[in-house]
């Protein structure tokens, strides 16, 4: 295992008017490749904030974010966008597929954005869809797919690029238990094949899929669960 990303005393404070909220208190963690890490916590605890820091979507108020050895503190928005494009894939609760595009076109999208040739992008996308058992649904539009199938297309889209970091925010929240298990197994497979996979969830049942679990409660990260009742 290697360290792919780190937070070093990273903290996020939001100020709106005269109220300040510490969304995430000072946090130090390492993210490894070949590992599926779960970030668990009740609603409002700071999970998305933590994921957004790792994903270079927001800047820390204090501390550092390091991606593949690069300290991104002080980077311009443009440079950060470049880091996201090359190192990070995102998977969300609502799949975020482009509705006018079929499954294949959705998966090709990040490759075309990176400037790859159409034929090459197509081949890689077909390959990725096959890896998540969606090879026979290339031509399907998102609205013709079930929630679980849409999420597998989203996983294929995360898989086509060489991004080492796959960040998932509540990826199973819209799915039934069986589809959720399929999606989690696909994500685990990504980790086994070398990616650093981070999954944010408030669903304690997902713990069985994790290689490592951290808990966020009231903006404070720890390696143990304080109060199971908060998750109900």
Binding site for ligand ADP (CB under 6 A): 14, 16, 21, 23, 41, 43-49
Provide long-range contacts, Cβ within 8 A and 24+ apart, for 213-216. 213/37, 213/38, 213/39, 213/40, 214/29, 214/37, 214/38, 214/39, 214/40, 215/39, 215/40, 215/41, 216/24, 216/39, 216/40, 216/41, 216/45, 216/46, 216/47, 216/50
* Residue number with CB closer to ligand ADP (30 or 230): 230
> Is residue 52 close enough to count as binding Mg ion by CB under 5 A?
no
Residues in the chain: 232
Q: What does 21 bind: ligand ADP, Mg ion, none (CB cut-off 5 to 8 Å by kind)?
A: ligand ADP
**222 and 214 in contact (C-beta within 8 Å)?**
yes
Using the minimum distance from each CB to ligand ADP, give the nearer residue, 116 or 203. Answer: 203
| Among ligand ADP, Mg ion, none, partner that 46 touches (CB below 5 to 8 angstroms by kind) | ligand ADP
State in angstroms the smallest separation of the CB of 171 from ligand ADP: 13
- Shortest Å, Cβ 134 to ligand ADP: 28
CA 140 remoteness from chain centre: 24
- In the complex, what is the shortest distance from the CB of residue 224 to ligand ADP, in angstroms, rounded to a whole number? 17
3-state helix, strand, coil in the chain (%, to 5): 40, 30, 30
Both structure tokens of 161: 């690029």
Nearer to ligand ADP, 39 or 97 (CB): 39
179 binds Mg ion (CB under 5 A): no
Minimum gap (Å) between residue 22 Cβ and ligand ADP: 8
Is residue 48 near Mg ion by the rule CB under 5 A?
yes
CB of 119 to ligand ADP, least distance (A): 40
Q: What's the CA dihedral at 61, 67, 72, 77 to 10 degrees?
A: -90
From the CB of 112, what's the least distance to ligand ADP, in Å?
31
Residue ranges in 18-161 assigned as alpha helix (H): 47-54, 77-87, 103-113, 118-131, 147-160
Residue 20 or residue 28: which is nearer to ligand ADP going by CB? 20
Compute CA 22 distance to the chain's CA centroid, rounded to the nearest angstrom. Answer: 22
| Chain residues that interact with Mg ion, rule: CB under 5 A | 48
């Amino acid at each position: 295992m290697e360290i792919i990303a780190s937070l070093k005393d990273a903290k996020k404070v939001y100020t709106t008017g005269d109220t300040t909220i510490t969304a995430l208190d000072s946090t130090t963690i390492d993210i490894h490749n070949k590992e599926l890490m779960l970030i668990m916590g009740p609603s409002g605890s700071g999970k998305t904030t933590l994921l957004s820091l790792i994903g270079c979507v927001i800047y820390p108020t204090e501390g550092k974010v390091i991606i593949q050895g690069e300290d991104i503190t002080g980077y311009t928005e443009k440079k950060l966008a470049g880091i996201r494009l090359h190192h990070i894939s995102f998977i969300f609760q609502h799949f975020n597929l482009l509705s006018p595009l079929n499954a294949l076109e959705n998966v090709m999208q990040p490759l075309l954005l990176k400037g790859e040739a159409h034929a090459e992008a197509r081949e890689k996308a077909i390959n990725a869809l096959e890896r998540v058992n969606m090879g026979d649904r290339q031509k399907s539009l998102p609205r013709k797919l079930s929630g679980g199938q849409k999420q597998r297309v989203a996983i294929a889209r995360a898989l086509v690029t060489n991004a080492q970091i796959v960040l998932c925010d509540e990826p199973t929240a819209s799915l039934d238990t069986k589809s959720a298990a399929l999606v989690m197994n696909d994500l685990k497979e990504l980790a086994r094949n070398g990616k650093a996979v981070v999954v944010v969830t408030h669903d304690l049942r997902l713990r069985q899929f994790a290689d490592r679990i951290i808990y966020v409660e009231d903006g404070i990260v720890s390696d143990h669960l304080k109060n199971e009742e908060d998750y109900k």
